[in-house]
Structure 1
Amino acid sequence: MYWRSECIDGEMSWFNAGVRVGVGIGLGVCVGLGIGVGLLVRTYQSTTRTFRRRLL
C-alpha cells in the first residue's frame, strides 16, 4: 500500500472519498429497493390469498 501516500494530494483523496460515498449510496439504494420489493411482494401475496378465500 505504498501508493496511498503518493495519491493523497488533494484531487485523488477527494476522488476516493467521492467514490466511497457513491458506492455507499448505491449499495444503500439497492438494499432499500430489495427490501421494498420484498415487502410489496409479501403484502401482494397475502392480500391475494385473503381475497381468494373470501371469493371462494
Structure 2
Amino acid sequence: MDKTLSIDEVAELLQVPKGTLYQWRSRRKGPTARKVGRHLRYDPAEVQAWFRDQEAA
C-alpha cells in the first residue's frame, strides 16, 4: 500500500486550515478521507483527482 496523507499534510498541500477539511468532510464536499482508528487518512491520488475536478468545475 502506498503512503496515505494525514489531515495536517492535506491541509498543508491544499493550503487550507484543518478546520476547513473537517467542514468539507461533514458536508461531503472535499476530498474523501477514511478513518484509521481515530485518525483521518487521505489517498494522495484521490486528493489530486478531487483537486483537478475543482479546476474543471
Task: With the length of structure 1 as denominator, give the TM-score of the two structures.
Answer: 0.29
Larger helix proportion, structure 1 or 2?
A: 1
The structure with the larger Rg is 1
Does 1 or 2 have the higher relative contact order (CA < 8 Å, sep 6+)? 2
